[in-house]
Amino acid sequence: MGMQVSRRALLKQIGFATLLQWAPVAAWPAGETLRFGIMGDRTGKAKPGVYEAAAKQIVTEKPEFILNIGDSIEGRNDATARQEWAEMQAIWRGYGKIPHYFTPGNHDIWSDGSAELYTEITGRQPKYSFSHRSCHVTVLDNSRTNILENDQLDFLRDDLRKHRDAPLKLVSFHRPYWLPFLAVESGEFALHQLCKEHGVKMVLSGHIHRLTHFHRDDVTYVTIGSSGGNIGQEAEPRLAFRKGWFYQYGILEATANGIQLAIQELPGPLGEGQRVPIENWERDHIKGLQG
């Protein structure tokens, strides 16, 4: 496959017109469709204007709510944090009446004081859960640790038990501590066992600014790539895209037939505006692309 072939032609060739669809969602109400958006990291050497462009674009998708995957501000500085949150609030106002839910990232919370400010600004505790029609989302906090501490796992266990009848259950937290386990095809970690036991369909993370995807025991794990934070630099732009380094957001749709996740690349000049089905993404490459 020659390097002169365009990325658009390559994506068309390997079937990027389809979306991911898993097995039917048990007990999902007949005829109900749920559609929501997922925003990736804004910060971590952010490129000015990118997150603003992604926020405007995601609104055009008409999502029922938007889930933020973390790192909304550059943070790590108590003196500037409040002003940085004010800048983010100006962006969020563009969502209008669309509900907006937050996941705390390591740039959002780095101390007890920043945790208090996070709750003040977002109106959410660092760990919480919410339901939207037939979907239930548990948001956990590993902003200050690379793992999920026992209190987070206990909260998840209790929350899943309380919402055992929710047809679609999802979990969100910022740092993807599950990556080393799934990279060696291991499900032997507490989070995965809880997800299996309680029928969680998807775990969403961010932090690495790169799209990745794993599927094990009917649980799908995804890191949403950057919606504005720094992306990896590659000599060949096609290879950067191939490895998940592109500005993006996610759109998840759920019906009685299953759930579908598409990753939307930002349009020019920030990208080529491709719609990427997550099932074509395996670990660090796209199925079908060579070298």
Residue 273 resides in a domain: yes
Q: ∠ CA 79-80-86 to the nearest 5 degrees? A: 135
In this structure, are residues 172 and 137 in contact, taking their beta carbons and an 8 Å threshold? yes
Q: What is the pLDDT of residue 27?
A: 86
Share of residues in the chain with pLDDT > 70 (%)? 86
Q: In a 3-state reduction of DSSP, which class is residue 27?
A: coil
SS3 track for 99-144: CEECCCCCCCCCCHHHHHHHHHHHCCCCCEEEEECCEEEEECCCCC
**Threshold 0.75, pTM exceeds:** yes
- Average model confidence (pLDDT) for the chain? 88
Q: What is the pLDDT of residue 233?
A: 62
To the nearest 10°, the Cα dihedral for 29, 277, 201, 102?
Answer: -90
Angle between helices 112-122 and 81-92 (to 10 degrees): 20
- Report CA torsion sign: 120, 137, 111, 207: negative
Q: What is the mean pLDDT of residues 40-49?
A: 91
Q: What is the pLDDT of residue 130?
A: 98
Identify the H or E element spanning 161: helix 150-162
Per the model's pLDDT, the better-predicted residue between 24 and 276 turns out to be 276
Number of domains in the chain: 1
Q: What is the pLDDT of residue 76?
A: 94
Instruction: Please report how many Cα atoms fall inside a 13 Å half-sphere around the Cα of residue 164, on the Cβ side.
Output: 7
Q: What is the pLDDT of residue 276?
A: 84
Confidence of residue 105 (pLDDT cuts 50, 70, 90): very high
- Report CA torsion sign: 22, 25, 30, 34: negative
Instruction: Name the residue with tokens 């550059």.
Output: 74
Residue 10 resides in a domain: no
Q: Which of 76, 41, 19 is nearest to 205 (CA)?
A: 41
Q: In a 3-state reduction of DSSP, which class is residue 158?
A: helix
Share of residues in the chain with pLDDT > 90 (%)? 74
Q: What is the pLDDT of residues 109-164, one digit of tens each?
A: 999 999 999 999 999 999 999 999 999 999 999 999 999 999 999 999 999 999 99
What's the CA gap between 49 and 208, in Å, rounded? Answer: 20
Looking at mean pLDDT, say which of 1-10, 92-101, 280-289 comes out highest: 92-101
Residue 60 resides in a domain: yes
CATH of the domain at 70: 3.60.21.10
Residue 119 resides in a domain: yes
Q: What's 176's DSSP letter? A: -
What's the CA gap between 36 and 260, in Å, rounded? Answer: 11
Q: What is the pLDDT of residue 25?
A: 78
pLDDT of 22 over the 90 cut: no
Q: What is the mean pLDDT of residues 20-25?
A: 60
Residue 19 resides in a domain: no
Residue 215 resides in a domain: yes
What's the CA gap between 46 and 73, in Å, rounded? Answer: 9
Residue 163 resides in a domain: yes
Residue 176 resides in a domain: yes
Q: What is the mean pLDDT of residues 223-245?
A: 81
Angle between helices 150-162 and 190-198 (to 10 degrees): 0
pLDDT of 16 over the 60 cut: no
Domain extent for 257: 36-285
Q: What is the pLDDT of residues 67-82, one digit of tens each?
A: 999 999 999 999 999 9
Q: What is the pLDDT of residue 217?
A: 94
pLDDT of 237 over the 90 cut: no
Per the model's pLDDT, the better-predicted residue between 187 and 290 turns out to be 187
